[in-house]
Structure 1
């Protein structure tokens, strides 16, 4: 029961259901796009255009709709309703999975999923869920252990995705004559999301490590002095809010996160369609294995943090991760065989280090009372990046299909290098550069 009251089981169940859904959606869209036809385009190019057009609209709805709901849920979180940004989005997850199950079982057009994406967005979506999770993790860890705690969460998220992806392709091929391909996969995904919602709603507990120490100290004071510490704490909190925000560092962290998410999101946006076209032409099982390779990066990134954090700072960790992604995605531009795809993925070993480390640094630049708001603002900044890179990368990919389909991956590598600039500027502003200065004694 103690384990079930933690955030980790919620993360595992959510990601298991999510990876099953992603594979199902990708294969359903592929099957429904096989008969697509556009004037002046070959059947293969027509299918690629249909797939990328669907994902462009679908992902724009997913990223644009949650902005206001996520902000509202963030305010509720900072006012004490810490579970709201977790429970409400999970209900949206459940409804969107039911929508795809309805599409498969009833034979409805795949465009029905635009409505499912809209409902998912109204619940706050991932833009509310993940900051809510990170807020719970931040409150439950100290400043020194926060980066590690966030990477543990990322590790569990990735391992759950790895397991889900490995089995998703095989579950997709299981079907009954009355339901069709993907129905069993979607039923399992829906049940996992239902269990996750019940777990978060009724068992999850939120602990605040930071607020425990002052309370324990207050118990050591005599009853006559009870009022003085309360006034002192209130004054300190007011001062913390007034001067506790390092605006320049916050701006640099937001810029680095925007550029890196622009690069990663744009590349991943196209990668799903890229592996379905010739010469790769992946099956459902291969799609699952490819998604599992992406989830495996969570493990290698976690091990990278454990190995490097003893000798390098958080800023250096971000730069290592960005360099890893830039090299791997550049090589992806020239992939023409499945083994080359996995070789390119192997260069992305530490590509997931930057974002949780950026969130950790951001949480240290603002007072704890505004942690949830700023983490949500960061997530919404990434949503804005999505509103730009989704149509941009989609149209560039469609325009370069004939001469270099991987050109968008070169662009992603370039934007990653640009994202390293604000990170390098932060390294000269952070106080840890003075921690090795020797203080002369008496």
Structure 2
């Protein structure tokens, strides 16, 4: 018997994603700390090891460790960029013919391989530089962006009304947020009580359970008649998917194409900023003057994840009194304020108050996905989300690489510089949304291409 609820798989992958990121960052930080100098590192007493006196050798050592950890994260991100981009695009584009489960399964396999390797790496105390090889290999199977995009396409397939699409996408984001919040709250205790080996093993088990659910219990959202078993070479497949993406924009009118491009660029730039500052934020909190330990970082991650739930509530309530595009404006402006506040945060209380301004940080992403899905026929949802995931993968890796690089250069003289830069970049999505609003006003309303019949030239290509 097949079920058509992707939320259980979303639940498990949200747990994996929110636990994997802080664990990997802190594992690399710990290994670099121990291999760089003679200072001991104990997670249960991290504050004592974070130098407050700028003239002390420990303070200079801690800054050097932060710089090395940031640069290694940069190398880690770049190593999987090209294979991840290619696999994400091909897997999601092919989901229009093969079904949405296809990219879900392969991306889950890649995530499983990565965490099994992390478990072995920490158990045998292998050189942490080997992480680069595992990231490169697993990227060929897709990544979290691939999985989330497939899930969004899955729920959109089941929606008929525009408002229903926005709410269903927001529900997926909310599920991710609730699980991420609980997991982030406990991530420090995972390290403290279980250590890295058992923590990575638990993550691998969770991915395996999700994989079993998708393969054996989850039904495909597309009708059997629309699924095709297409056998072609890799080159032919890549050419076919690129052609489908080209036709997605070519067959639209000038205004529709402009609107879709504006919404897509708005989402990618906003995603670029929010993803880029995430790993830097952990390093910022580990460093002086905050000197957070792993438990405080877990609390911070948990409070960050509350924004998924509050974003869902905001979308649900605001959708009754305003257009979706205004909800996106609210989310962008509040996020901008929170990022500026982070640059000047020097105390633990201030860092937690920053999270209040981030309560609607997810709302623009949910709304923009919904707006773009309305502009595309149901037969091309996979192609659309392939474009989104491709650009998110590219933007995410470039963002983490760029922000880690900038932070490593500026941390010695002003750690908050990278946050002020991020706030300035967010002005671009605001301008794009203003232009999109002007276009939509000229049209009278958003023109739903999904109401048209499927394009014959697209289907034949």
Where do residues 28-427 of structure 1 align in structure 2 (5 Å cutoff)? 28-35=27-34, 37=36, 42-144=60-162, 145-175=164-194, 181-208=195-222, 243=251, 246-427=256-437
What do residues 304-338 of structure 1 show as CA deviations (whole Å, max 9, x unaligned)? Answer: 11111111111111111101110001100011111
Shift of 1:291: 1.1
Q: Which structure would you say has the larger Rg?
A: 1
Greater shift, 146-155 or 61-70, is seen at 61-70
Q: Deviation per CA, 1:332-389: give whole Å up to 9, x if none.
A: 0011111111111111110111112111111111222111111111221123323433
Preserved CA contact (<8 Å) 2:99 2:221: no
Does the aligned pair in 2 maintain the 1:400–1:407 contact within 8 Å?
yes
Q: In the TM superposition, what is the alpha-carbon distance from 1:396 to its structure 2 partner?
A: 2.1
Q: CA deviation at 1:10?
A: 0.3
Q: 1:79 to 1:432 in 2, by over 3 A?
A: farther
Residues 15-26 of structure 1 correspond to what in structure 2 (within 5 A)?
Answer: 15-26=14-25
- Is the Cα contact below 8 Å between 1:20 and 1:164 reproduced in 2? yes
How many corresponding residue pairs?
403
Question: Residue 70 of structure 1 contacts residue 376 of structure 1 at CA under 8 Å; is this kept in 2?
Answer: yes
1:10 aligns with 9
Structure-2 separation of matches of 1:352 and 1:260: 10
Contact 1:240 1:367 in 2 (8 A): no
CA–CA distance in structure 2, aligned partners of residues 147 and 159 of structure 1: 18
Equivalent pair of 1:244/1:365 in contact (CA under 8 Å)? no
Does the 8 Å contact 1:332/1:344 carry over to 2?
yes
Q: Take 1:19 and 1:240, find their aligned partners in 2: how far apart are those partners?
A: 34
Q: Distance in 2 between matches of 1:155 and 1:134?
A: 13
Instruction: Give the CA deviation at 1:202.
Output: 1.0
Residue pair 1:329, 1:409 contacting (<8 A) in 2 also: yes
Shift of 1:399: 2.3
Report Cα offsets for 1:79-137 as digits up to 9, x if no partner: 13221111100001111010110111101121111122112211011232121111101
1:287, 1:269 → 2: CA distance? 12
Instruction: Judge conservation of contact 2:71–2:408 (CA < 8 Å) in 1.
Output: no
* Higher fraction of helix: 2
Q: Using the alignment, how far apart are the partners of 1:135 and 1:293 within structure 2?
A: 28
TM-score, normalised by the number of residues in structure 2: 0.82
Q: Is there any run of 5+ residues in structure 1 with no aligned partner, and where?
A: 176-180, 213-238, 436-442
Return the offset for 1:265.
Answer: 2.2
TM-score, length-normalised on structure 1? 0.85
Deviation per residue, 1:222-272 (Å, 9 max, x gap): xxxxxxxxxxxxxxxxx9997456211111112212221222122223112
Q: 1:102 to 1:323 in 2, by over 3 A?
A: same
Distance in structure 2 (CA, Å) of the matches to 1:50 and 1:242: 46
> In structure 2, what is the equivalent of residue 440 of structure 1?
none
Deviates more, 1:320-329 or 1:64-73: 64-73
Note the alpha carbon deviations across 1:162-196, whole angstroms, 9 max, x for none: 11112221121124xxxxx2222122111111101
